Amino acid sequence: MTVATVPGRKARVPRRYVPVLVTAALFLAMFAAGGIRYEGFATGQIILNVFIDNAFLLVVAVGMTFVILAGGIDLSVGSVVALSTMVAATLLKQGWSPWPVMMLVLLIGAVLGLGMGAIIHYFEIQPFIVTLAGMFLARGLCYTIGARSIPVDDPVFTAFAQTRIDLGADMWISPGVVVAAAVVVAAAYTLHHTRLGRNVYATGGNEQSALLMGLPVARTKIAVYTISGFCSALGGLVLSFYMLSGYGLHAVGMELDAIGAVVIGGTLLTGGSGYLFGTVLGVLVLGLIQTIISFEGTLSSWWTRILIGLLLFVFILMQRLITARRR
């Protein structure tokens, strides 16, 4: 099937691509501005450092993308990340082998997500309330394990933390970046080439229509929260590699960073529209803001939150305009 073109009429970019393109343009503009203002900024390693420092956030944001695409929200992710670091650090300190610890942590995250998804669907409770309860539950469990930071000195975790993967030209990445890249590739394939991915978009676009078409809405909603819980636990493990510690105050506010990255990446908060590539760009934008403030040296770290807040306002308004024009 071919698409006819009208002579003299300019080809327009489909509206669903506009938010992602705006985010990409914003990232390039910020990178170019940083390169002009700061010496040594415009290098490939700077971008790689953003990935290294935010690999755990990218993993968590991937899970959040599934949830938001399906029309939900998950406020528990930051607390699940912290709980994962506490469980891992405690069990390793007690002499457990690192591989069973990792499997158990991932299982705990997936089970928590599955439970919240089941409650949201079968009891018809708003995701905000259920995941808020999950946030308090997971954060509270952290403090039942311990109130202080627990160092991780396991050789496997230490090796992960200290390993550098050389890419040539004096550039390198950490194993956490490889984990995050694998998660992004697997998630992108799932969203765009599997039945689950199509069901996620359909459920987020219009849940009632999805039900009328006979799609497994219940299974899809539970699946996305299970994926989010799994990604949160995996993000917690990556953070454990990064910090080499477990602490109940790790990842405070990370749920808002993950939501911010997804929204800035162009995914509609109402669900049904968005791309995982946009989430990656959203994480890059957030990380680049932190890098620019670090290079500036005279600005408070609170400027990161201020700029993220302004960006969220802009992108939410842009989403509103796009959806209004569709109607």
pLDDT tens across 148-190, in order?
A: 999 999 999 999 999 999 998 889 999 999 999 999 999 999 9
**Is residue 319, in this structure, part of any structural domain at all?**
yes
**Is residue 168, in this structure, part of any structural domain at all?**
yes
For 217-273, how does the pLDDT look when each residue is reduced to its tens digit (9 = 90+)?
A: 999 999 999 999 999 999 999 999 999 999 999 999 899 999 999 999 999 888 888
Q: pLDDT at residue 125 above 90? A: yes
For residues 88-103, one letter each, b for 16 or more C-beta atoms within 10 angstroms of the residue's C-beta and e for the rest, the string is bbbbbeeeeebeebbe
Which residue has tokens 């912290």? 82
**Is residue 57, in this structure, part of any structural domain at all?**
yes
- Give the pLDDT score at 4: 47
**Is residue 193, in this structure, part of any structural domain at all?**
yes
For residues 240-261, one letter each, b for 16 or more C-beta atoms within 10 angstroms of the residue's C-beta and e for the rest, the string is bbbbbbbbbebbeebbbbbbbb
**Is residue 32, in this structure, part of any structural domain at all?**
no
What is the total count of domains within the chain?
A: 1
Q: Is the dihedral of CA 218, 222, 225, 227 positive or negative?
A: negative
What's the CATH number where 54 sits?
1.10.3470
Q: Using CA atoms, how far apart are residues 52 and 173, in angstroms rounded to an integer?
A: 6
Residues 6+ apart with CB under 8 A from 172: 45, 48, 164, 165, 166
CB atoms within 10 A of CB 173: 20
Collapsed DSSP state (helix, strand, coil) of residue 165? strand
**Is residue 35, in this structure, part of any structural domain at all?**
no
Percent of the chain's residues with pLDDT above 90? 75
- Give the pLDDT score at 10: 58
**Is residue 170, in this structure, part of any structural domain at all?**
yes
Please answer whether residues 251 and 239 qualify as being in contact, where contact means their C-beta atoms are separated by less than 8 angstroms: yes
Q: pLDDT at residue 53 above 60? A: yes
Name the pTM for this structure: 0.92
- Give the pLDDT score at 198: 95
**Is residue 245, in this structure, part of any structural domain at all?**
yes
- Give the pLDDT score at 164: 94
What confidence tier does 96 reach under pLDDT thresholds 50, 70, 90? very high
DSSP code per residue over 87-128: HHHHHHHTT--HHHHHHHHHHHHHHHHHHHHHHHHHTT--HH
Closest-CA residue to 31 (of 303, 291, 318): 291
- Give the pLDDT score at 1: 42
| Tokens representing residue 301 in the block | 């770290």
| Tokens representing residue 165 in the block | 């993967």
Domain that holds residue 265: 18-27+42-326
Helix (H) or strand (E) holding 31: helix 18-37
Cα dist from 137 to 141, 240, 256, whole Å: 6, 20, 18
